[in-house]
């Protein structure tokens, strides 16, 4: 619990729009509630898109700093999460322009855990498939990987993805379906492989 939380009793029940309005009116502790509410999905996206944990932490902190400084410029407070993801992904892209391109591991895809001991062989097979999927996702072009992540892991619409990545809605759809088509082809090729 952070200082001042007692003054905000019930504030965690407010929606983002109300918390932002109260923050802009001088209730600085409301920003802490916004951080608590949106930190986890933001961090998950950064872990999926940045290979180095230290770099991911730097981008995470810089995202919140920029949000703190620029939240008054947010036109639609109901789109706060999309706005935060947009800031973070722009910072990631800026960092990639300054450093050599590298394949970033997809850390957010969950491991398959065994349900029962008798399911162990099926679980191992599922883990192999999941590892195969992770490797293939890591090899997707960066834009396809970003669109796939935002659609599958954050449930954003193509319109939201397009606004966030500053591309057309058609481009979002095309990148998403190209990514799915590539992944499907990879799985079909693996199934045909007798190894």
Confidence of residue 192 (pLDDT cuts 50, 70, 90): low
**Please, what is the end-to-end C-alpha distance for the chain in angstroms?**
54
CA angle (24 as vertex; 23, 30 as ends), nearest 5: 5
**Would you call 140 helix, strand, or coil by DSSP?**
coil
Query: What are the tens digits of pLDDT across the range 70-92?
Result: 999 988 888 898 899 889 988 88
31-47 pLDDT per residue, tens? 888 998 898 888 888 88
User: DSSP assignment, residue 99?
Assistant: S
Could you give the CA distance from residue 101 to residue 39 in angstroms, rounded to a whole number? 26
- In whole angstroms, give the CA distance from residue 27 to residue 183: 47
Q: Domains along the chain?
A: 1-108 (1.10.1740.10)
Question: 22 to each of 16, 91, 127, 155, how far by Cα in Å?
Answer: 10, 27, 46, 28
pTM of the model: 0.56
Q: What is the pLDDT of residues 106-143, one digit of tens each?
A: 444 443 343 444 444 455 555 666 677 777 788 888 88
Largest CA distance in the chain: 65
Instruction: Check: CB of residue 46 under 8 Å from CB of residue 88.
Output: yes
């Amino acid at each position: 619990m952070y200082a001042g939380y007692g003054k905000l009793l019930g504030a965690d029940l407010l929606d983002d729009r109300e918390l932002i309005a109260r923050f802009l009116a001088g209730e600085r502790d409301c920003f802490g509630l916004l951080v608590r509410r949106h930190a986890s999905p933001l961090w998950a996206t950064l872990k999926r898109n940045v290979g180095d944990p230290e770099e991911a932490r730097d981008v995470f902190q810089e995202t919140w700093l920029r949000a703190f400084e620029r939240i008054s410029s947010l036109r639609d407070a109901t789109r706060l999460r999309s706005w935060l993801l947009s800031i973070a992904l722009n910072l990631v892209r800026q960092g990639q322009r300054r450093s050599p391109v590298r394949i970033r591991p997809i850390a957010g895809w969950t491991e398959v855990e065994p349900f029962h001991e008798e399911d162990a062989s099926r679980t191992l097979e599922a883990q192999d498939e999941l590892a195969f999927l992770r490797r293939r996702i890591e090899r997707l072009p960066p834009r396809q990987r970003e669109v796939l992540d935002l659609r599958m892991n954050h449930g954003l619409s193509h319109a939201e993805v397009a606004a966030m990545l500053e591309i057309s809605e058609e481009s979002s759809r095309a990148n998403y379906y190209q990514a799915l088509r590539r992944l499907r082809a990879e799985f079909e090729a693996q199934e045909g492989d007798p190894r």
